[in-house]
Structure 1
Amino acid sequence: MPPWLLLMLDSLAPLLWACLTFTIPLTILSFAFGLLLGLASALIRLFGPKPAAAVVRFYVWIIRGTPLLVQLFLIFYGLPSAGILLDAFPAALIGFTLNIGAYTSEVIRAAISSVPKGQWEASFSIGMNWSQAIRRTVLPQALRVAVPPLSNTFISLVKDTSLAAAITVPEMFQTAQRIVAVTYEPLILYVEAALIYLAISSVLSALQARLEVRLSRYGGFMEGRA
């Protein structure tokens, strides 16, 4: 067996373990919290009072206008100078959540805005209040528009979690770096890590395509009923 293949096989288990224990949990938690933050931010932008909407716009402007790596460094390395100490994983979780929240807020805001005003009027005409209209009529229709960009954001987040290695989170890429420090084989280890990221992204892309097909069928069914 070639030495490079033997090295890849030996390092596969620790890389996969780091992926399962840090990369995937960080991705799922960051996206879930970021999606909730994005939904709240979008609703405030669209329907909230002007002062609150201005605060949200400022938040989105700051996050979207600065690099994610800089944001992680500010949280992990910068906040301690202000007396706020965070472990690596919580710091990464906060950084990714804030970043995802800003981007998903724009996606959700655009999706909600794409729903025709007639849908609001129809909901109110059958006795729904604002909360019922947004939950039962507007958000389900906005979901069809938002799923593709939100899915792309999730897939990108899987790869972006490699930036957490810069603040000492022992996720998959930092595990590869640690193995490189012992084996002095950066090409082999980084290619292996890249292949694992590629495999995960490919699976998620296939799931995204199936979800979009199902949503399109559901949309056609609802249009047929209308």
Structure 2
Amino acid sequence: MNLDFSVVPPFAGALAIGALWTILITALAGAISLIVGIGLALARIYAPGWIRALLAVPVFIILGTPLLLQLFLVYYGLSQLGLRLPAFFTGVVGLGLHYAVYNADILRAAILSVEQGQYEAGRALGFGRGATLRHFVLPQALYRALPQIGNNILVLLKDSVLVSAIGIMELVLSAQLAISRTFRPFEFYISVAAIFYLINLALEWALARITRRTEAMR
């Protein structure tokens, strides 16, 4: 096997920019997935039946179709209807909403697992229903759900490569452009795999640190 990694350094800048875009996409989509996931979880528990029924339709679509197809439908489908959204916005929101559905299931189970005594303690202290959820129930539910949500963020990092299909210059697409000039795919794909591995290690370290700090605050 004739490998020549000397072709990689001239494109190190492009790969670094692609890696930064990948990290940014993961961070923004992860934040959306957590915020929307909390909202969906609360709606599935406390919202009126008709709202839960309305939410069941997009949830069913997201769970029943591939993520790549969802990105295509939003990006190309809406443009045919006259609504042109930036590719970056579409990719981040598409990834975020996709994982929000999965996070919602995790958070819903975590919220329901909080003991009834926590609700009663909040009311005994004069907190209303919303304040009890915010100050007593949600912090404990987030703590219990954190490991599974962290796993979803790690999977989201890997799925971020799919946004290259709608033209976002993340890490894999940056490598593909370099390959088109050098015709050395193996060297660049190995390099990209190593970069992803390093990003994954850094993300695992950050999640573990957050978990430890959360445990210390309990």
**Class of the TM-score when normalised by the shorter of the 2 chains:** over 0.9
In 1, distance between residues paired with 2:111 and 2:28?
24
Counterpart code for 2:157: V
**Partner of 2:122 in structure 1?**
123
The number of aligned residues is: 217
Are 1:115 and 1:142, in contact at CA under 8 Å, matched by a contact in 2?
A: yes
In 1, distance between residues paired with 2:27 and 2:207?
15
C-alpha displacement at 1:75, in angstroms?
A: 1.1
**Partner of 1:67 in structure 2?**
66
In 1, distance between residues paired with 2:106 and 2:4?
44
- The answer for unaligned runs of 5 or more in structure 1 is 220-226
C-alpha displacement at 1:143, in angstroms?
A: 1.6
- TM-score for both structures, normalised by structure 1: 0.90
Counterpart code for 1:36: I
1:93 and 2:92 aligned:
yes
Query: For 1:94, what is the secondary structure of its paired residue?
Result: helix
C-alpha displacement at 1:3, in angstroms?
A: 7.0
In 2, distance between residues paired with 1:177 and 1:169?
12
- The answer for unaligned runs of 5 or more in structure 2 is none
Counterpart code for 1:92: G
Are 1:59 and 1:102, in contact at CA under 8 Å, matched by a contact in 2?
A: no
In 2, distance between residues paired with 1:86 and 1:27?
19
Counterpart code for 1:81: Q
C-alpha displacement at 1:175, in angstroms?
A: 0.6
Using CA pairs below 8 Å that are at least 6 residues apart, which structure has the higher relative contact order? 2
The C-alpha deviation readout for 1:41-64, integer Å capped at 9, x for no partner, is 111111111111112222222212
- TM-score for both structures, normalised by structure 2: 0.93
C-alpha change, 1:208 and 1:116, in structure 2 (3 Å) is same
**Partner of 2:9 in structure 1?**
9
Counterpart code for 2:48: P
Are 1:151 and 1:208, in contact at CA under 8 Å, matched by a contact in 2?
A: yes
The percent of aligned pairs where both chains have the same amino acid is 35
Equivalence map 1:137-156=2 (5 Å)? 137-156=136-155
The C-alpha deviation readout for 1:123-181, integer Å capped at 9, x for no partner, is 11221111110111101111211111111111221221110111111111101011111
Are 1:60 and 1:103, in contact at CA under 8 Å, matched by a contact in 2?
A: no
Equivalence map 1:20-99=2 (5 Å)? 20=20, 22-99=21-98
